[in-house]
Amino acid sequence: MEFGDVVRRRRMVRNFDPDRPVPAPVVDGLLDLAIRAPSAGFSQGWGFLVLSSREDRARFWAATAPADAVPSGWLAGMMRAPLLVVPHASRDAYLDRYAEPDKGWTDRDEARWPVPYWYVDAGFASLLMLLGAVDAGLGACFFGIPPEATATYREAFGVPDAYTPIGAIAVGYPAPDRRSPSLRRGRRPATEVAHWGRWGTSSGSGAAPSGLRSAATREDGASERREASEPDRRP
């Protein structure tokens, strides 16, 4: 699949076919993409918990879903995913790396960092998995773990304190689901969010590069047709 097509076809899929497991070579491929993400100082301070067995996935949902949650709608669809990958970030891996001689931040002062790159880089890795899922003909959804469930999650899977889960990714073969009503907001165009030379200055053609334009046109048109043909199934 062309890269432009992969990017434009990516969306958060919230319902999966529970009877079609993700083949092991595909799982390995997604992880191989994740570890190719950029990381500050090549720190690679990430870790990925892979949950593919029914028992492990059930343990994840038991640890992270509210005790009184009824598995219907969004939650029911997500719980059908045959694969969960939980990306983690290690702050200490970055502080240790930048205390090495070629960097020289021996004080390990977190204030030196303009933003917490350990989370940024784990996000890069997560996005590569989301794109890889599309390229493999799968669907995927990145979602958060409630803060109040983090301790229970850590205990359930033996996650060290040095690693923080930044969310979780459900992966599987897509089943019919409801597109998010938030998409009705529309995508903000580059001409609205890009500032040229000075903030508030708009310039440039606003068009996609020629190599991507045809893919964008095809996918945007397909999305509009899907939206028009799908009934509004909001509760």
Q: What is the pTM of this model?
A: 0.85
For 59-71, what is each residue's pLDDT tens digit?
Answer: 999 999 887 777 6
Asked if 97 contacts 103 with a C-beta cutoff of 8 angstroms, the reply is: yes
The CATH classification number of 3-177 equals: 3.40.109.10
Q: Indicate if the pLDDT at residue 166 is higher than 60.
A: yes
pLDDT at residue 66, as a whole number? 80
pLDDT at residue 211, as a whole number? 52
Q: In the chain, where are the structural domains located?
A: 3-177, 179-235
φ/ψ of 164, rounded to 5, equals -110, 125
